[in-house]
Amino acid sequence: MSLLGKLFGAGGKGGKSASPQEAIQRLRDTEEMLTKKQEFLEKKINQELIIAKKNGTKNKRAALQALKRKKRYEKQLGQIDGTLSTIEFQREALENANTNTEVLKNMGFAAKAMKAAHENMDIDKVDDLMQDITEQQELAQEISDAISKPVGFGEEFDEDDLLAELEELEQEELDKNLLEIASTENVPLPNVPSNVPSAARPAVQKKQEEDEEDMKDLEAWAAN
């Protein structure tokens, strides 16, 4: 039996085909096994290389044998690399196919559910229902507008008249302020004191005496 036959079963017409999940898991197990084989071969190659270097000048025959084994290990390592690439590609393709299958399955399930949900729906009834909802919403809005409209005992005032009255009140207040400012600017000056300071009394008295003498002279002249 081949290696793939051992890994994936005998197969054939009578064999039961594995599910995608089982096949993916087996491929992952195979990748892990081959990766371990790679690590083992890399260690063997390094060991043979050390032996060849160690016996290169002392034991030429042993060095050549080590190099031959090293070449065989490298050949096996190259084969495993190719096998791993093939298995990786197969696993990724199987994973994508499994994902697509699940997606399509779920989409079909959703489509059936949607069809069942719409099965008892009549488009005409839906249109009538939406029209009723629209009418009720409009009626509710009208009622709300009517309730929220302010009520003033049936009286309505013209906004232009109210604005005109407000302007008159503002003008009256402005005129009042101007009058108050004007009254503060025309404050009367204090009266000049009638009492003459004591230091200026002699000069004032002398002036009054001179005025009296002039009046007497004028009266005498007028009597002649």
CATH number for domain 17-118, candidates 3.40.50.2300, 1.10.287.1060, 1.10.10.10, 1.10.645.10: 1.10.287.1060
Query: What type of residue is 113?
Result: A
Sequence-distant (6+) residues with CB within 8 A of 52 are: 63, 64, 66, 67, 70
Query: Nearest 5°: CA angle at 159, between 156 and 161?
Result: 100
Transcribe 23-57 into DSSP letters: HHHHHHHHHHHHHHHHHHHHHHHHHHHHHHHHTTT
Whole-angstrom Cα distance, residue 202 to residue 176? 53
| 98-135 pLDDT, tens digit each | 889 889 989 998 988 888 888 877 888 888 888 889 99
Question: Where are the domains positioned within the chain?
Answer: 17-118
Confidence band, pLDDT 50/70/90 cuts, at residue 193: low
User: The pTM is what?
Assistant: 0.43
| 142-163 pLDDT, tens digit each | 898 888 776 655 556 677 887 8
